Amino acid sequence: MNSSPNKRALTKATLIKVAFRSFFLQASWNYRGMMSMGFLYAISPGLDKIYDDINARENAYMRHFEYFNTNPYFASVVMGVVLALEERLSRGEISDEVIHDTKEGLMTACAAIGDGLFWDSWRPFVAVASLIFASGNYMLTPLFFLILYNIPHLYFRFAGIFWGYVEGTHVIRSLKKFQFPQIRQNLRYGTLVLLAYMIPNHVNVHTPFLLTNLPMEFFYFGEKVVQGIGATLLVALGMIGCRARVDVLLISFLLMILALVLYHWGILI
């Protein structure tokens, strides 16, 4: 299913141009085609190179006005595969139905992988890591968040276009090597651990029982023990929630609600 390497019509410069244009994938939405106009805008430099005949080029343009919706960071993978298939179509090796079916299948798979990885796992992890920096009054915390979050984003956006174009429909094998389900699970656990770290280090627990029953020189140590136990219990509850497939964002939201309730009761200060 791959394009023949010695019959490539697109240069690296063209593929890089397509990758840059993919940043505008969501610049124009519509109810009928969702991201279709942005998708066509991104791949149009490649289509212009593949089709010299104006009628064939117009047909290619019209072909990609159809419905398209996927994770924007993984859309470049689909773009690369589509351009490779368009080359094969221009040589008469396949029909346009192959492009339609492949595009539809890949955009669904990439949506599931990308949304689960970035929206559900990576973004919460980076947000919590940035909160730890922010609690230390680091002025560069927003920059830290942007840099850390965008490292994998930019990698998949630019590398994906080359994977798709070179490997064609076999690109899914390259994506499987990343073991995304395991990465997502590790990021979920990491997010909970970082949240638990913040509790004993950035929240004071009001413990009148210790104040009245411990000598003052032992009070600080006893309070830290209570905070550590509380953090351990929260991590355990979070892990149980993950095992039960409760969304990490929901767990984080419930932790914030719990903190507000405990603050209202005067337990957290």
Answer yes or no: do 186 and 248 share one domain.
Answer: yes
Amino acid making up residue 137:
N
Is the pLDDT score of 211 beyond 80? no
Supply the pTM of this predicted model. Answer: 0.75
**Domains: count for the chain:** 2
CA gap 258, 74 in Å, rounded:
36
Q: What's residue 217's pLDDT?
A: 63
Which of 127, 161, 176 is where one domain is finished? 176
In sequence order, the 6+-apart residues with CB closer than 8 A to the CB of 241 are 250, 251
108: nearest Cα among 154, 64, 153, 77: 77
Answer yes or no: do 257 and 224 share one domain.
Answer: yes
Buried residues in 13-22 as b, exposed as e (16+ CB within 10 A): ebbebbbebb
Answer yes or no: do 172 and 258 share one domain.
Answer: no
Lowest mean pLDDT among 8-12, 168-172, 227-231: 227-231
- What would the mean pLDDT of 63-73 be, rounded to a whole number? 90
Q: Is residue 142 part of a domain?
A: no
Condensed to tens digits (0 to 9), the pLDDT of residues 103-138 reads: 988 998 889 888 888 888 899 899 888 888 887 777
Length of the chain: 269
Answer yes or no: do 26 and 96 share one domain.
Answer: yes
Answer yes or no: do 70 and 22 share one domain.
Answer: yes
Q: What's residue 46's pLDDT?
A: 92
Q: Are 227 and 210 in contact (CB under 8 A)?
A: no
Answer yes or no: do 167 and 190 share one domain.
Answer: no
Q: Six-digit token pair at 175?
A: 């994506």
CA gap 67, 100 in Å, rounded:
10
Which of 158, 176, 194 is where one domain is finished? 176
Going by pLDDT thresholds of 50, 70 and 90, the confidence category of residue 86 is very high
| Burial label, 167 (beta-carbon count in 10 A; 0-12, 13-18, 19+) | buried
Answer yes or no: do 210 and 108 share one domain.
Answer: no
CA gap 26, 202 in Å, rounded:
39
Residue range of the domain that includes 197: 180-264
